[in-house]
């Protein structure tokens, strides 16, 4: 990967972060999921930059400090998205909706508990 490609990776990561900041809406779970996807794109671009051979030369150009700042921004924004998602999961549980929660095997609690109730009644 050339120096220009490494710079392009950082610019795409920065662009994804800007989109997250512009699109953020704590009142919309769907918007939070979109922001999470954008952050995953930013993480992928940052990983591509870190894996590039041009990274060694990028320290002289200040790209490493830009990459570190982008990483801090991503971590901060992921915490915000995770907190918002946790709020919605807690709210759903509080209101009695168990749809967002699943067992380790990927089944909803209703799917697991229904056969057990039938077996107990028989």
pLDDT exceeds 70 at position 101: no
The pTM (predicted TM-score) of the whole model is 0.69
- Please spell the DSSP secondary structure of 40-88, one letter per residue: HHHHHHHHHHHHSTTHHHHHHHTHHHHHHHHHHHHHHHHHHHHHHHHHH
* Overall domain count for the chain: 1
For 8-48, the pLDDT digits (tens) are: 999 999 999 999 999 888 888 889 899 999 999 999 999 99
Contact (CB, 8 A) for 8 and 62: no
Could you list the residue range(s) of the whole structural domain that residue 60 is in? 3-121
């Amino acid at each position: 990967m050339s120096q220009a490609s490494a710079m392009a990776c950082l610019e795409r990561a920065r662009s994804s972060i800007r989109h997250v900041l512009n699109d953020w809406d704590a009142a919309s779970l769907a918007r939070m999921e979109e922001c999470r996807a954008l952050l995953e794109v930013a993480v992928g671009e940052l990983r591509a930059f870190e894996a590039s051979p041009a990274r060694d030369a990028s320290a002289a150009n200040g790209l490493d400090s830009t990459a570190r700042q982008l990483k801090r921004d991503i971590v901060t924004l992921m915490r915000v998205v995770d907190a918002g998602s946790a709020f919605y999961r807690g709210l759903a549980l509080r209101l009695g909706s168990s749809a967002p929660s699943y067992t380790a095997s990927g089944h909803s609690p209703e799917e697991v508990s229904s056969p057990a109730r039938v077996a107990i009644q028989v």
